[in-house]
Copies of this chain bind each other. A is one copy, B any other.
Amino acid sequence: MVLTAQEKAGILVEALPYIKKFYGKIIVVKYGGHAMLNCELKRAVMTDLVLMKYVGMHPVVVHGGGPDISKMLKRLGKETSFVNGLRVTDAETMEVVEMVLGRLNKEITALINRLGGRAVGLCGKDANLVMAAKKPGKVRLADGSEVEQDLGFVGRVTQVNPDLLLSVIQQGYIPVVAPIGLGPDGEGYNINADTVAGKIAEALGADKLIILTDVEGILSDPADKGSVISVLRVDDIPELVASGKISGGMIPKLECCAAAIKGGVKRAHILDGRVLHAILLEVFTDEGIGTMVLP
State the A residues within 8 Å of B (CB): 1, 3, 5-17, 19-20, 23, 44, 47-48, 50-51, 54-56, 72, 75-76, 95, 98-103, 105-107, 109-111, 113-114, 116, 118-123, 125-128, 164, 167-168, 171, 173, 180, 182, 185-186, 188, 275-277, 280-281, 284-285, 287, 289
Contacts and interface: CB of A to CB of B under 8 A. Distances in A.
A182 B110 contact: yes
A47 B16 contact: yes
A284 B12 contact: yes
Given A1-B7, A13-B44, A16-B47, 10 more contacts: A3-B7, A8-B11, A8-B15, A9-B280, A9-B281, A12-B280, A13-B48, A19-B55, A113-B125, A119-B126
A113 B161 CA distance: 13
Given A95-B103, A110-B188, A122 B120 contact: yes
Nearest to A20: B116
Contact of A186 (B8, B114, B275, B280): B114
Question: Main SS of chain A's interface residues?
Answer: helix
Given A13-B51, A55-B54, A281 B5 contact: yes
A73 to B, nearest CB: 12
A15 B47 CA distance: 11
Contacts of A47: 13, 16
14 contacts: A5-B289, A6-B276, A6-B281, A16-B50, A16-B51, A17-B116, A75-B76, A98-B103, A99-B102, A99-B103, A101-B102, A110-B188, A114-B186, A120-B122
Nearest to A176: B126
Contacts of A100: 99
Contacts of A13: 44, 47-48, 51, 277, 280
Contact of A121 (B12, B114, B122): B122
Given A11-B3, A76-B75, A173 B55 contact: no
B277 A9 contact: yes
Given A54-B55, A110-B125, A186-B111, A276 B76 contact: no
A125 B47 CA distance: 17
Contacts of A19: 51, 54-55
Given A6-B276, A54-B19, A55-B54, A110 B186 contact: yes
A164 to B, nearest CB: 7
Nearest to A75: B76
